[in-house]
Structure 1
Amino acid sequence: MQQQTGIQTNPVAALGRSTISFVNSLGDIFLFFLEGVRLIFSSPKQLTKIIRQMYFIGSKSLFVISLIGIFTGMVLGLQGYYTLVKFGSEGLLGAAVSLTLIRELGPVLTAIMITGRAGSSMAAEIGVMRISDQIDALDVMDINPMAYLVSPRIAASILCFPLLTALFDVIGILGGYLTGVTMLGINSGVYFYRIDTSVVMADVAGGFVKALVFGIIVSTISCYQGFNTHKRTDSVGPESVSNSTTAAVVLSCVLTLVSDYVITSFLL
C-alpha cells in the first residue's frame, strides 16, 4: 500500500503523465484540424457558411483592428523617433515603423485581438451548443457537426487573418506618419522613401505566412475547446463553457507567440 502511494506521488511519474496527456491533446487537436479542413470542400453549401463567418470574423473586427493599428503605429513612431534621434538617425523612422509592423506586431497583435473578439465567441457558442445537446441533435438529423460548425470557421479565419493583418500594417504605418511627420516634423518624403527602400517582398510574405498560421491556430483551438466542452473534468454545465472559453483564449495567445518565435527563426 505504501509502495502504491509512493508511485502516485512520484513527481517524475506525474511529469510523465502530464507530458503524455499534453502530447495526446496536441494529436487530438491536429486530427481535429485535418478533419475540419477536409470537410471545407464537402458541399457547395459550405460557401454560404464561410461567407457568414467571414462577416463575423473579418468585417466585425475592422473597427477594433483599425483602432489598435492606428495607436500602435503612433506609439512606434513616438518611441522610435526619440530612440533614433539619439543616434542622429531619425530619418530611418519610416523603415523602423514599417518593418516592426510588417514582420512582427501586425500579425501578432491582429491575432491576439481577433482571439479576444471572435475566438472567445466561437468557443462559447459551440460550447453552449454542446452542453444543450444541439450538436447531438445535428447528428440525429444526419448533419455533420464538424462540417456545419467547425469547417466554415477555419476557412473564414484562413481567409480573414491575412487581410486584417494587411489592414493593420497599413493603418499602423499611417499612425507612424501622423506622429513622426505631423507632430515631430520629419520630412514626409524621407519617411515614405525609407519605407520603399527598406521593405521587400520577403518581409510582406513572412508577415502573411505568420497571419495564416495564426488564423489556423486561433480557429482550431477555439473550435476544439468549444466542441469538447462536455469532456472537461474540472467543471460541468455553464461553468465548463466559461472554462473552455478561457482555455481557448489563453492557449491561442500562448501558441500564437510560440509559433511566432518558431516561424521567425526559420524566416531570418
Structure 2
Amino acid sequence: MTPYLSLSRMAWSTVLVYRTEFLLQLVGSVVQAVALFAVWRALFAGDADGSLAGLSWEQMKGYLFVSFLTGTILSSFTDGQLALRVLDGSVALDLVRPIDYQLARFAEAVGYLLGELMVVAAMGTVLLLVFGGAPLPDASQAALFLVSLAAVVPLKFALVYAVGLACFWTGNFHGLSMSRIAVTSILSGALVPIALYPQWLQTICAFSPFPGIVSTPALIFLGEARGTAALSLVGVQLLWTVLLWLAARLVWRAAVRRLVVHGG
C-alpha cells in the first residue's frame, strides 16, 4: 500500500503546485451549476403545481447540488492527467515499475479528489445559500448517501480511466473527454432528472452505469429511495463498478500491445 499512498500524496502536491489551473478547470463546473439553478428556478416559477418530476423546487435544489458535487469530483483535471501519461509517453516508464497501473492511477485520482472536495464544499455551500438553501437528509439517509457517494468515486474513475486509455488509438483526448462528459451528463440525469425523459431513454439509462453517478446518490439524498430500495441502487452501483474495472483492465491489455517506444 505504501507506493499507492505516496502516489496520492504526490497528486495532492500537484494540485497545490498547479492550483490556479486546477481552480480554473473547476470554474466551468460552477458556471454550469449556476446556470442550471437559474434555469430550473425559472421552470418551477412558471409551473402552477410547483412540482416537476415529483420534486418540489426545494428538493430540486438538493438534486442540483448533488449533480454539481458528483460532476466535479474526478473532474477534467483528473481526466487530463490520466490521458497525458499516454500522450507524453510516461506510460512507458510505468510499465517497468512494480505496481499495478490501474490502481496507481486510482491512487492519484484520490489525491486529486481531496482538493476537489474542498473546493466543492466551499463553492457548493455558497451556491445553496445564494439560492435559499436545500433540505438535508436525516441521519439514516445521510449515511446511505455517503455510501452511495463513495461508490461514485471508483465507478466514475473506471469510466474516466477507460476513456483516457483510448488515447492509445486516437492520439488526442479532448474530443473523447467532451464526448464522455456529454454522454454522462445526459444518461446520468445530471442536467435533467431521468424521470422526465421519454420512456425509451429511461430504459437506456436503466441498463447503463451512468445513473449511478448522479441519479442514485441524488435520489438517496432527497429520500426518494429509502431502505431496501436505496440499498438496491447502491448494489447496482457496486456491480457496475466491478464490471467497468474488469473491462478497463481488458482495454489496458489491448492498449499496451499498441505501445511503441523509440530511443534507448
Task: State the TM-score, normalized to the length of structure 1.
Answer: 0.51
Cα gap change, 1:249 to 1:42, in 2 (>3 Å): same
Is 1:257 matched up with 2:211? Answer: yes
Is 1:124 matched up with 2:83? Answer: yes
Is 1:213 matched up with 2:172? Answer: no
Q: Give distance in 1, aligned partners of 2:25 and 2:143.
A: 22
- Bigger relative contact order (CA 8 A; separation at least 6): 1
8 Å contact kept, 2:70–2:213: no
CA RMSD in angstroms comes to 4.3
Q: Aligned-pair distance for 1:150? A: 0.1
8 Å contact kept, 2:184–2:210: yes
8 Å contact kept, 2:74–2:109: no
Q: Give distance in 2, aligned partners of 1:46 and 1:201.
A: 36
- The one-letter code matched in structure 1 to 2:87 is V
Aligned pairs (5 A) from 1:110-259: 110-112=69-71, 117-129=76-88, 132=89, 134-140=90-96, 142=97, 144=99, 146=101, 150-156=105-111, 158-160=113-115, 162-167=117-122, 169-177=124-132, 195=134, 198-202=135-139, 205=143, 208-227=146-165, 229-230=167-168, 236=169, 238=171, 245=177, 248-249=180-181, 253=185, 254=187, 255-259=209-213
Cα gap change, 1:248 to 1:81, in 2 (>3 Å): closer
Aligned pairs (5 A) from 1:35-114: 39=1, 41-42=2-3, 45-52=6-13, 54-55=15-16, 59-83=23-47, 86=48, 96-102=56-62, 104-112=63-71
8 Å contact kept, 2:37–2:64: no
Task: State the TM-score, normalized to the length of structure 2.
Answer: 0.52
Q: Give distance in 1, aligned partners of 2:111 and 2:3.
A: 15
Cα gap change, 1:158 to 1:137, in 2 (>3 Å): closer
8 Å contact kept, 1:120–1:249: no
Q: Aligned-pair distance for 1:151? A: 3.1
Identity %: 7
List per-residue Cα deviations over 1:195-252 (Å, max 9, x = no partner): 5xx433456555544443333223232223334654xxxxx4626x567646754675
- The one-letter code matched in structure 2 to 1:257 is P
Cα gap change, 1:246 to 1:124, in 2 (>3 Å): farther
Greater CA radius of gyration, 1 or 2? 1
List per-residue Cα deviations over 1:32-72 (Å, max 9, x = no partner): xxxxxxx5x43553343131355569644442333233333
List per-residue Cα deviations over 1:157-207 (Å, max 9, x = no partner): 554565455445423323424xxxxxxxxxxxxxx6xx5xx4334565555
Cα gap change, 1:172 to 1:62, in 2 (>3 Å): same
Q: Aligned-pair distance for 1:125? A: 1.3
Gaps of 5+ in 1: 1-38, 178-191, 231-235
